[in-house]
Structure 1
Amino acid sequence: MNDSSNDVNGENQKLGISGRIAKTFLLTEITPLIALIGLLLGVFAVMVTPREEDPQINVTFANIFIAFPGASAEEVENLVSTPAEQVLSEITGLKHIYSTSMPGMSMLTIQYKVGIDRTDALVRLYNKIASNQDWLPQNLGVGQPLIKPKGIDDVPIVSLTLWTEDENKGGFELSQVAHAIEAELKRIPGTRDIYTVGASKRVVHVLLDSAKIAGFNISLDDLRNALAASNTAKDAVSVVNNNTEIQVVAGTFLSSDDEIGDLVVGVFNGSPVFLKDVATIKHGADSPETYVSFSTAKGASHKGLQEGIKSPAVTIAIAKQPSINAVSVSNNVIKRIEQLKGTFIPEGVNVTVTRNYGDTAKAKSDKLINKLIIETLAVAALIWLALGYREAFIVGTAVVITLALTLFASWAWGFTLNRVSLFALIFSIGILVDDAIVVVENIHRHMVLGGKKLVDVIPIAVDEVGGPTILATFAVIAALLPMAFVSGLMGPYMSPIPINASIGMLLSLGVAYIVTPWMTNKVLSKVDFSHHQEDDGETKSHKFFHFILSPFLRAKGGGWKRFTLLFVFIPILIAISLSLAFPFQKVILKMLPFDNKSEFQIVVDMPEGTTLEQTSRVLNELSTELDKVEEISDYQIYTGTAAPINFNGLVRQYYLREGSNLGDIQVNLTDKHERKRQSHEIALAVRISLQDIAKKYNANVKVVEVPPGPPVLAPLVAEIYGLDHEGQIEIASKVRKVFESTKDISDIDDSVEANQERLVIKVDRQRAAHLGVSQAAITSSISTVLGGEDVTFIHNKNLKYAVPIRLEFPVANKDKIESILSLKIRSTKGALVPMSEVVHVQEGTREHSINHKDLLPVVYVTGDMTGHTDSPLYGMFSIANGVKEAPVAAYDKNINEHYFSPPDDPYFYSLKWDGEWQITFETFRDMGIAYGVGMIMIFLLIVAQFRSYVVPLVIMSPIPLTVIGVMPAHWIADKQFTATSMIGMIALAGIIVRNSILLVDFINDQLRAGVDLNEAIINSSAVRAMPIMLTAAAAMVGAFFIIDDPIFGGLAVALISGILVSTVLTLVVIPLLYFMYLRKRVHIITGTSA
C-alpha cells in the first residue's frame, strides 16, 4: 500500500505505478478509444472464433498394417510385430505403442503425446519406417507397411443417414445415391474426409459353373489369363502420314457385360469357348459384408418423423478441417443437401441428420454467451445495491470491456469458442470484477471525505489500493496458471480455464487502472457527495465483531479460547469434512460426471465365427428394447462395421471394428429440453434388458456413453503381463471372474477371442510336383473358390469407384469343401489334375491374436461401474481386493498388482490397472502439483510485499478452511467430487488470499495510525467485512450460473460453498492468528522500539 501524503500538489512525485497510470489516462482522449477498441476486438473475436462443443485436443494416432499371408500369430509376433515395435519405439514424442499379431497380419498402433504437432509426428513415423525397410529379409513374404494416420479432425461432425421405404430400393441403390452426392458435399469449404458407411460396392460377378468348366476342359488359370490379357491397352503413339500426325492407340478396355461374356477362354472340339458358356455374368451389388438400417422410436415426432420406421440405409459421415467453424460447416452441409433433393437425391430417398455437432456447438455457445451477459448484469445489480447505480454502470462497463479483450486474447491464443473456454469466462466474472470494485469504492470513499476535486482524488485513490490489488491479482493468477501444465489428455482439455482466467485477471487489472478512472471521472464528476455522511460511531458491524472477537482477545482466558478455536475446533471440522470422502464415501470421487448428451452407442461383439446374418438378427432383437423407450427418437444399426466415430471411438479405435461378428447401434435421443431423464439415466435403464438378451446368444454388449472428458480404452482396465501367452489368458480368465462377482460391475469383456473352427488345406508337395502342379497355383485356386478373385476392372467413364471383374463360384458352392476338392488345376503338362489328388483337409482352431503394449505382451480385461457409486475408482479397488484372494494357478500365489507404472519384471505374471484410474491419477497428481506450485508462488509474492516469512503463513492459513465448505456441500448437493471440483478448490486459494491481504494490510495501517492492537483487530473485520463480503458475493453469483451444468456443477459447488464458509471464518481466523503473531511484535509494524 502506498502511504503517500494526501497533499495533492505533491502527488506527482509520490504516486506509485498504479496512480501514475491512472493519472496518465485520466484526461487523455485516447482512453475512450482504448475502451472502444477493446469492445470491437471482442465483437470481432465472437464473429471469427470457430465454435465447437469441446476443445480441440491435438492427439495423433497412426495404425500400421503389415501383411504376412499364411503366417501364424506367433510367427507374425516374432518376425514382424516385435522388430517393428523396437524400431518405432525410437521415435521421439511417443506415449504408447501397441501391437496385435494375428494370423497373416500385424497391426501396430502408435499414440503420440498430447500436443505433438501432427505433421511433425507423421514425418517422423514415415522417416523411421522408410529408413528401416531392411528389418526383414527379402522374399520372406511380408508386405509393405500401410500407414493410416488418425487424429481429432478425423471425427465426423455431421452424419446424414439415407433411407427409403420404397421396396424397389435397397442398400445398393442408396449407396449409388450416397456416392453421387459425396463429391457435391466435398465442394463445401471447410469439409475434410467424407465417406459412406455401409455402402454396397458395385461388382461384375463372373459366376462360374464348375460342371461346365470341367466339361469344356477349362481351368481357373485359363479364365484368369483370358480376362487379364483382354483388358489391356497402350498409350497413344504418334505416326506421320501425308504430313499429318496421327495418334494410334493399341487395344481397348472391357466396358460392358456383353464384352466380358464374349471373351474366348479356350477351344473345345475345334470350337471357341466363350466366357458366357461357362459362367453367368451379373453386374450389380457385391455380396453383403455390412448391413445398415434406420429405425424410429417413440420420440420420433420430436424430429418430425413417424414412429415405427424400419428401413435399409447408408450413412454419409462428414469431418471438418482444423480451426474451421463447426457451425458454419454443418449448416452449409445441410443447406446443400436440401438443394440436392430432386436432382442427386431422387424421390423416395429420405435424408435424416443423425449427427450435428455444429448444432450442439452453437446451442452450447449461445447458451453460455447468454449466461455471460446475464451474469454480468447480475454482478452489476449487486454493485448497484451496494454502491449505487452509477458505480454499478462503471463496474459493469469495466467487466464488459475485460470480457471482450479476454475473448480476443483467447482467439489469438488459438482457443475455440467451446464449453470449456466459455465456462472459464463465466466462472471468472466473479473475480474479474474485484479490481474495478476496489478502485471505484476507494474513489467513492475519498470523495465522501470531501475537500478535493474528483480529478485530483482519482490518482490518489487508485494508487492507495494499487499495491494490494496488484498483489491479490497475481495471487489468483499464481493459483490458477500452474493448472495449464497438467499432462495427458486432461491438460489441454481443461487448459482454457487457467489460461483464459489468468489472461482475464491481467486484463481486468489494466482496465481498472486505465478505463475505470476515466469512466469514474465522466460519470461521477457532477455527483454531489456532500450529503454522504461517514458513520464515525460504533456501527452494527463493529458491535458484532466486538462481540465475536473480544472474548478471544482478553488477557484472561483469551489464549485458551484462541487455542481451542484455532487448533482444536477448526482442525476437527476439517477432519470431519475430509472423512466424508474417505472413509465414509459420502462424497464420491470421480474424474468427471456424465454429461447430458443426445446420443449413446450400443457396441455388440458376437463370438468369433458368427455369420453376418446371425449378428444382424441379434442386433435387431436388441433394438426391440429401444423401441420401448420414450426418449429415443431414432437409431441406426450397423452390422459388420462401426458407426461414424466420435472422439471416444477415435481413442478406442472403433473405426477398426469390421467383421461379421461385430455390430453397433447408434442411439439418438430427443433434445435434452424435451425429456426429464438425463442421457446417463436412460443408458443405465436400457443396459440390464439389453444384456439379458445378449446372454441368450453369448454376445457381449456394452452401452457406451460419450465421456465428459478425455476418453480411455474402458473405465476399468486390467492389463495382465507375463511372457507366456497361455498363462496370461488363464490369469485373465480368473480376473474376469472377479469382475463378474463384484457388485455393480458391468460391460465386462476381455481381449481373448473365442475359439473359432479352422480348416487347413495342406498340399502334398511331392504328389503335386510329380503331377506338375505348383503350390502357388493350388493356393490361388482355393482363394478364388472361397472368396473370389478380382482379376481386372471394367472401364466406364461414368463410374466414380472402380468396378472389379470378379471370378467366383455361387454362394452355395463356397460353403462346401467338396467344391474345392472337385476343382481341377492345369498342370505344366497341360493335363487337368483334380484338387483332391494333391491336397488333404486338416481340422483345427484359429489361433488367438497376441497383444503387446509398450513392447510387453498383454491381455486386457475391461469393465464399467454402475450403481449408486458410479465411479470406476471404487470398482477398481473392490476388484483389486478380490484379485488378491484369487491365487495364480501357475505359481499358487497372489498376482502382483501395479497402479502407477507397468511391472519392472516382465518375467513374472502381474496386473497393471489402467483406464479411468490412470487418467484420474495423472490428473489429480498434476493438479496437486499445480496446487503446490501455486501455494509457493503466492507465498513468495506475499513475502516480497510484507517482507516477512511468518505473515504469508498467516495470510494463507484460511486456504484449508475451504474444505469445511466444499466437502459437506458436495454431500448435501449429492455431487461427485471431480476434477472440476478440484479446479474450484485451486481457484479458491487465490480468492481467499485476497481477503486475507485486505485484513492484514488494514491492521498494519491501524497500528501505524496509533490504534491499539485489540481495537485494530476488531476494526479490521468490522471495516473490511463489507468489501470482502461484496467481492465474495460477486464470485458466488458467477458460480451460480454454472451450478446446473452436469460437468462444471462441481466447480460451482466448490466455489460457492468454499467462498461462503471460508469468507466467514476468515473474518475471525485471520485477525486472531495475526493477533497471536503481533502481540509482542507491534513495534515491527509501527517502527517504534520494543
Structure 2
Amino acid sequence: MNGPIRWMIRNRVTANLLMVFILVAGSFGAISLRKQVFPEFSPELINISVAYPGASPIEVEEAIVVPTEAALESIDEVEEVNATASQNLAVVTAELRSGVDKQRVLDEVKSAIDRIRTFPVQIERPIVNLASPRSQVIQLVLSGNVGERALKVLAKEARDDLIALGAISDVQISGARDYELSIEVSSDVLDAYGFSLSQLATIVRRESLELSGGEIETRDGRVLLRTQGRNETSEDFRDIVVLAEADGTEVLLSDIATVTDGFADSDLAATFNGQRAVVVTAYRVGEESVLDVAEAVHTYVASFSARLPEGVTASVWQDQSVVLDGRLKLLIKNGILGLTLVLIALTLFLDLKLAAWTAIGIGISFIGAFALLAPLGVTMNTISLFGFILALGIVVDDAIVMGENIFAEREKGRSPLEAAEVGAIRIARPVIFAVLTTVVAFAPLLFIEGTLGRLLIDLPLVVITVLLLSLVEALFILPMHLSHDDASIRTSNRFLGRINETRARIDIALQKFISGPLTRGVRFSILNPGVIMSGALASILICFGLIGGGRLPFSFLPSIQGETVVANLQMPPGTSVKRTLEVIQEIETSVLRAGDRMAMDLPSDHPSPIQNLYSVVGGGGGGGGPGQTDTPRSSSSSRASLTVELPNPEVSAFTPLDFETAWRAELPELSGVRSFAITSDFFRVAEAIQVQLASGDEQALKAASADVARELAQFSGVFDILTDDDRGEQEFQIDLRPDARTLSITLEDLANQVRGAFFGAEVQRLQRDGEEMPVYIRLPESERDAVADLLIFRVSTPGGARVPLDQVATVSLGSTPTSITRREGERIVSVTADTDESVVTTDEVNRQLERVVLPMLSERHQGVSFNLSGERAEQDDTFASLGRGFMLALLGIFALLAIPLNSYIQPLVIMSAIPFGIVGALIGHAIIGVPVGLFSLFGIIGLTGVVVNDTLVFMDFVNAEKARGLVLEDALLNAARQRFRPIFLTSLTTFLGISPLIFERSIQAQFLAPTAVSLGFGILFATLLIMVVVPALAVTEDRIVRWFKRRRTMTVEGSAAAEVFSSAGT
C-alpha cells in the first residue's frame, strides 16, 4: 500500500483525474436516481384471487380455498400459504422461500391452479400474479351532486387521458360501482307465460351470440363465415323475441321484463367533502418518477377542470409528491446544517487548508456514492437520505485522522511533500482496517429478514458505499492535496486572520487541557485500573438494568406519522347500508367538531385543520406505504372508512397525532358498532399487538378470542381492540327434502333456481369502458328484499309445475362469518390492538402477553394454539437475523483488528470498549426522552464503528511508542496526549453532523431520532471512554498477560529443578 500512496502523492494529475472521475460518475448516478418516500421492494408473494359471485364465505372456503391450498402443497418453493374467504371472493397468498426464481414458481402455481377440476362453473377466471410493489402517487377526485354514471364517465375519460400522456402507465378508478345490465322479471309474469327463470335465461343467452362458422373455399379465394347476433346495448336485449306464436305474434323481452343498464347491486358509496365522488388513482411503476407522475396529473387537472360540467369539481388528493418533497427537503436541510457545523468545527480546530480539503473529501465521497447506489437499486428516499446523514457523522473520521497526522508531521518541521508521504503511510494501515471494521459492523443490516429488512436495506448500502469511497479519497486524493502548499494558509484577509487567531486560542486551551486534566485523568486510570473498570462495569449494569426494569422504555418500531388520519368502521355483519351511513355521518360530524375546536387555538392565518374529507361505505380505508400491494376485497355494507387530510406538516402547528387525540375526544357514543379504530400512522410494518389463534373448533376459537380481547382491555393505554372473528351474519340455510326427488328436483336444480332468482343468472358478458359488464336475469328487487320473499318463492319442476319452496326444502336460520382467514390449511382468528406509548409501550404489553396472559389462556382453552404475531413476530425475526449477523460481524472485526495489531489479546481490549460506548447511547435516550428501539440499534452499530476506529488508532500509536522502547504506562500517556485532538475532533464532528436530527421536532423525521441519539450521545462519551477506560483495559490486559507469563515461567523452572533433583538422585 505504501507504493501506491507515495505514487499518487507525487502524481497530482492522476489524483485529480481520479477525483474528477468520481465526481462525474456520481453526478450521472444522482441524475438517474429515482425519488420515493420510502424504498419499494418486491414481496416474495404470489396472489391468487378467484371471484365466486353470490357465494358465501363458507362456500368460497370449501369450493375455492381448500382445493387451492391442496394444489399448492406439492410446490416446494412455497413456504407458507395464507387465505381469506369472503363474500364472493377468495384470496390465497403463497409466500415463497427467499432466493427462488419467482417467475418459474409463478408458472408452476398457474399450472397447479389450472389442474383443479372441482372449481364451480360459476366462478370467474382465477387471477394468479406476483405481488406488485406499485406505489400510489396521487389521486384525482371527481365530486359533485350529479349522477354516479356521469362521474364514472368523466373518471374514465380522465384515466384514458392520463395514460395517453406517456408519463403514467397505471391509472385505476375506485369509489364507483361496476357496470351491470340487469333484466328483472316478476314471478307472476313468469307464471303467466309458463317460463321458469332458468328457461328465460337460456332463451336470452341463445339469442345473443356471435359465432364463427368456418370458411368457404371458392375460385376467387377464401370467404369466412360468421353468425352475428350478439347484443351490446339495453335496446338490443329489449328487442329479443322470447316467444313467437303460431299466428305470428311475438313477445319481446321488454314486454315481460325490465331491462336496466346501470350498476351492480353493490354496497359501495363514496363521498368527498359531502358530495358523491369517484377517485382516479395514478400509480408509479417501474422506472417512473413520483415527481413526474404528480406533475403530469397536476398539469392535466388544470386543463381538465376547465371543461368539466357545472356542479362537478376535480380535486387533487393524497399527493405523495408533497410528502416526498417535504421529507427530502427536511433531511437535506438537516444534512446541510450538520455539514455546516462539521465545517465550522474543522475550521476552528484544524489548519484551514486541512479543514477545507477534509470537507471537500466528504463531498467527493457523497457524490461518488451515487455512481454505485443506482446500480445497487437504491433510490433517493427517507431511509437512504438518513443513511447519508448517518454517514456524515462517521465518514469524516478517516479524513480527520489522515489529515491531522500529516499536519502533525508538518509541525515537526518536515516539508509539505515529505509530511504528506510520511504521515499518510504511517497512518494508512490503521485507517484502512478502521474503515473496514465499520463496514463489517454495518454488514448485518444487509441481511435482516422479512419486510423490515427489505424496507431498511438502503441504510447500510448507503453507509458502506460512502465509507469505502471515503477510504479511497483519504488514501489517494487527500494526501496529494495536502502535499503542495506551505504549512498553513497565510492571508491578510481580516476574517481569515480572526479565524486563525481563534484557532490559536482554542489550540492553546486544548493543549492546557491535555497537559493538565487529561494527563492526570489518564495517569489515574493507569494507576487505578480496578477503580475505573469497576465504575465502567457498574454503569453498564445500571443502564441495561434500566431497560430490563422498564425505567428506560423500549419500543421496537417508532410511529411513522403521515399527513392524514384514517378511521375504519366495522358494523355488525348484515348491517344495512343506510345504518352504516348514519354512523359514518355521526363520525364525520365529530371530525368537524374536532377541527373547529382546534381552529380556535390556532393563529388566524393558519390553514384550516381539515383540508378535505373522504368517506367510503362498502370498503375499508388505509394508507399507503412501502411495499404496498393491492389485494382484491369484497364490498360489505357493514364496513366503512373516513380519511381526513390535514395541512402540510411544514406549515401546520399540530401533528396528526394531536388531531387524532382531539378527534377521539369529540367522538360520540357509537351504539351498535362492532369495531372502530383511528390511526394517524403513514404505514405500519406490522400490527402493534396481534395474537393469532388457531383451532379446528370454531366455538373454542370464538371463546378464546373473546378472552384475549378481554385481557387486553385490562391494560392501561391499550385501545382499538379488534378481532376478525366475524361470525354473526345471518343466513338462511336451505336443505332439500327427501321427497322432493319424487318431483325430479335435484339439489343442483334447487340451488341454481334460488341463486338465479335472488342473485341472478348470468347470461352474457359485455365490454364497456375497458371493464367487463355482466348481464344478469333475476327477480325484481321488490320480490327479493324481504325474508317473506324467500318463503313464498316457487320452484319450477322439470314437468313445468311451480311449487312453493317449503314443499321441497326446509329453511332454517343460521349464521355465517363475513370472512374466514386461514393459515397453512387451518382456520385462524386474529385479535389486534394499538397502544398509547405515553402510557404503556408495545413491548411491555407483548411481554406480559407472552409471559403471563397467553400461558394462562392456553391452560384454559385446550386445543387452541396462541401465537404472538404482528410487531412482536417481526421483532423476533429481526433480532434473530441481526443476532446471527452481529456475531459473525464481531468475528470479522476481531480478525480485522488482529491483523494490523499482530495480537490476539489487543483486539479483545479494543472490542471490550464497545459495551461502554453503548452506555453513552442509553444515557442519551434517557436525557432526550426517546424510547430505545430498533432504530437505536442502527446508531449503536455506527457508534461501534467509531469507537473501534478511534481505539484502533489509539492502540496502534501505543504499540509504536512501545516499539521505541517506552514502557506501557508511558506509551499510554504519550498516546493520550498525541491522539486526544483527532479523537476529540472525531467525536465532536460526528455529534455535530448528527445533532440537527437529534433536536429536530418535525414529525416527518422524529422516527429517525433514536438513531441520531444513539450515535450522537454515544460518541460524546467515546472520548472519555477511549482516554480513560481503554488505558485501564490495556493495563489490566498487560497485568493478566504478565501474570500468566510468570506462572508459566515458574512452572517451567519448577520442572527444570525437578529434573535436576531427579538426575542427582540417580
TM-score by length of 2: 0.88
Confirm or deny that 1:781 pairs with 2:759.
Answer: no
Confirm or deny that 1:503 pairs with 2:465.
Answer: yes
Cα pair 1:69 1:141 within 8 Å, conserved: no
Confirm or deny that 1:333 pairs with 2:308.
Answer: no
**Cα distance between partner residues in 2 of 1:76 and 1:332:** 42
- Kindly tell me: are residues 598 and 233 of structure 1, through their superposed partners in 2, closer, same or farther at Cα, counting changes over 3 Å? same
How far has the Cα of 1:291 moved from its partner? 0.3
- Kindly tell me: are residues 127 and 767 of structure 1, through their superposed partners in 2, closer, same or farther at Cα, counting changes over 3 Å? closer
How far has the Cα of 1:402 moved from its partner? 0.7
- Kindly tell me: are residues 172 and 1083 of structure 1, through their superposed partners in 2, closer, same or farther at Cα, counting changes over 3 Å? same
Cα pair 1:596 1:672 within 8 Å, conserved: no
* Residue of structure 2 in register with 1:427 after alignment: 390
1:679-728 Cα offsets, whole Å, 9 max, x none, are 233334434654x543x1233012234356x622x221112233433222
Query: Is the partner of 1:742 in helix, strand or coil?
Result: coil
Confirm or deny that 1:1046 pairs with 2:1006.
Answer: yes
1:266 to 243, 249, 252: 243
1:73-113 Cα offsets, whole Å, 9 max, x none, are 77876786456435424434544321345798754222335
Gap regions ≥5 residues in structure 2: 492-499, 596-608, 1051-1066
Q: How does 1:309-388 map to 2 (within 5 A)?
A: 310-343=274-307, 345-388=308-351
How far has the Cα of 1:528 moved from its partner? 7.3
2:561 to 596, 618, 634: 596
1:743 to 716, 734, 737: 716
2:726 to 753, 759, 768: 753
- 1:1063 partner amino acid: T
How far has the Cα of 1:457 moved from its partner? 3.2
**Cα distance between partner residues in 2 of 1:920 and 1:313:** 40
* Residue of structure 2 in register with 1:1057 after alignment: 1017
Query: Is the partner of 1:861 in helix, strand or coil?
Result: strand
**Cα distance between partner residues in 2 of 1:426 and 1:644:** 31
**Cα distance between partner residues in 1 of 2:54 and 2:304:** 48
How far has the Cα of 1:181 moved from its partner? 2.0
Cα pair 1:231 1:254 within 8 Å, conserved: yes
* Residue of structure 1 in register with 2:685 after alignment: 711
- 1:587 partner amino acid: L
- Kindly tell me: are residues 120 and 375 of structure 1, through their superposed partners in 2, closer, same or farther at Cα, counting changes over 3 Å? farther
Cα pair 2:271 2:614 within 8 Å, conserved: yes
* Residue of structure 2 in register with 1:149 after alignment: 129
Confirm or deny that 1:206 pairs with 2:183.
Answer: yes
- Kindly tell me: are residues 234 and 1046 of structure 1, through their superposed partners in 2, closer, same or farther at Cα, counting changes over 3 Å? same
- Kindly tell me: are residues 885 and 773 of structure 1, through their superposed partners in 2, closer, same or farther at Cα, counting changes over 3 Å? closer
Q: Give the CA RMSD over aligned residues.
A: 3.7
**Cα distance between partner residues in 2 of 1:980 and 1:749:** 28
2:28 to 44, 54, 61: 44
Query: Comparing 42-51 with 801-810, which one deviates more in the overlay?
Result: 801-810
Confirm or deny that 1:475 pairs with 2:475.
Answer: no
Cα pair 1:22 1:513 within 8 Å, conserved: no
Query: Is the partner of 1:503 in helix, strand or coil?
Result: helix
- Kindly tell me: are residues 77 and 641 of structure 1, through their superposed partners in 2, closer, same or farther at Cα, counting changes over 3 Å? closer
**Cα distance between partner residues in 2 of 1:537 and 1:319:** 57
1:278 to 233, 252, 256: 256
How far has the Cα of 1:214 moved from its partner? 3.0
Cα pair 1:172 1:201 within 8 Å, conserved: no
How far has the Cα of 1:378 moved from its partner? 2.8
Confirm or deny that 1:1069 pairs with 2:1029.
Answer: yes
Query: Is the partner of 1:601 in helix, strand or coil?
Result: strand
Cα pair 2:556 2:875 within 8 Å, conserved: yes
Q: How does 1:582-981 map to 2 (within 5 A)?
A: 582-583=548-549, 585-630=550-595, 631-643=609-621, 646-647=624-625, 650=628, 655-656=632-633, 658-687=635-664, 689-690=666-667, 693-694=669-670, 696-706=671-681, 711-712=685-686, 714-764=687-737, 766-767=739-740, 769-770=742-743, 776-793=748-765, 799-820=769-790, 827-830=797-800, 837-846=807-816, 851-880=821-850, 883=853, 893-894=859-860, 908-981=863-936
How far has the Cα of 1:768 moved from its partner? 5.7
How far has the Cα of 1:1080 moved from its partner? 9.4
How far has the Cα of 1:1035 moved from its partner? 1.0
**Cα distance between partner residues in 2 of 1:90 and 1:980:** 40
1:639-695 Cα offsets, whole Å, 9 max, x none, are 1124476248957x77525212112222222111222332233334434654x543x
Q: How does 1:112-511 map to 2 (within 5 A)?
A: 112=96, 118-130=102-114, 133=115, 146-149=126-129, 151-164=131-144, 167=145, 169-189=146-166, 191-235=168-212, 250-266=227-243, 271-295=249-273, 310-343=274-307, 345-450=308-413, 452-511=414-473
How far has the Cα of 1:236 moved from its partner? 7.9
**Cα distance between partner residues in 1 of 2:511 and 2:785:** 100
* Residue of structure 2 in register with 1:298 after alignment: none
Query: Is the partner of 2:95 in helix, strand or coil?
Result: strand
Cα pair 1:317 1:644 within 8 Å, conserved: no
How far has the Cα of 1:54 moved from its partner? 0.6
Cα pair 2:5 2:424 within 8 Å, conserved: no
Query: Is the partner of 1:1048 in helix, strand or coil?
Result: helix
* Residue of structure 1 in register with 2:474 after alignment: 512
**Cα distance between partner residues in 1 of 2:119 and 2:960:** 88
**Cα distance between partner residues in 1 of 2:182 and 2:62:** 39
How far has the Cα of 1:535 moved from its partner? 9.3
- Kindly tell me: are residues 283 and 972 of structure 1, through their superposed partners in 2, closer, same or farther at Cα, counting changes over 3 Å? same
- 2:256 partner amino acid: V
How far has the Cα of 1:540 moved from its partner? 4.1
* Residue of structure 1 in register with 2:600 after alignment: none
Query: Is the partner of 2:559 in helix, strand or coil?
Result: coil
Cα pair 2:190 2:196 within 8 Å, conserved: yes
**Cα distance between partner residues in 1 of 2:204 and 2:125:** 30
* Residue of structure 1 in register with 2:72 after alignment: 88
- Kindly tell me: are residues 847 and 489 of structure 1, through their superposed partners in 2, closer, same or farther at Cα, counting changes over 3 Å? closer
Cα pair 1:742 1:879 within 8 Å, conserved: no
Query: Comparing 1042-1051 with 104-113, which one deviates more in the overlay?
Result: 104-113
Gap regions ≥5 residues in structure 1: 1-16, 296-309, 896-906
2:530 to 560, 563, 568: 563
Cα pair 2:8 2:15 within 8 Å, conserved: no
TM-score by length of 1: 0.86
Query: Is the partner of 1:341 in helix, strand or coil?
Result: helix
1:759-818 Cα offsets, whole Å, 9 max, x none, are 134444644643x656545433322321233323568xx854444443233322211355
Query: Is the partner of 1:1047 in helix, strand or coil?
Result: helix
How far has the Cα of 1:1018 moved from its partner? 2.2
Q: State the percentage of identical aligned residues.
A: 20
Cα pair 1:155 1:645 within 8 Å, conserved: no
Query: Is the partner of 1:627 in helix, strand or coil?
Result: helix
**Cα distance between partner residues in 1 of 2:204 and 2:467:** 74
- Kindly tell me: are residues 537 and 316 of structure 1, through their superposed partners in 2, closer, same or farther at Cα, counting changes over 3 Å? closer
Query: Is the partner of 1:990 in helix, strand or coil?
Result: helix
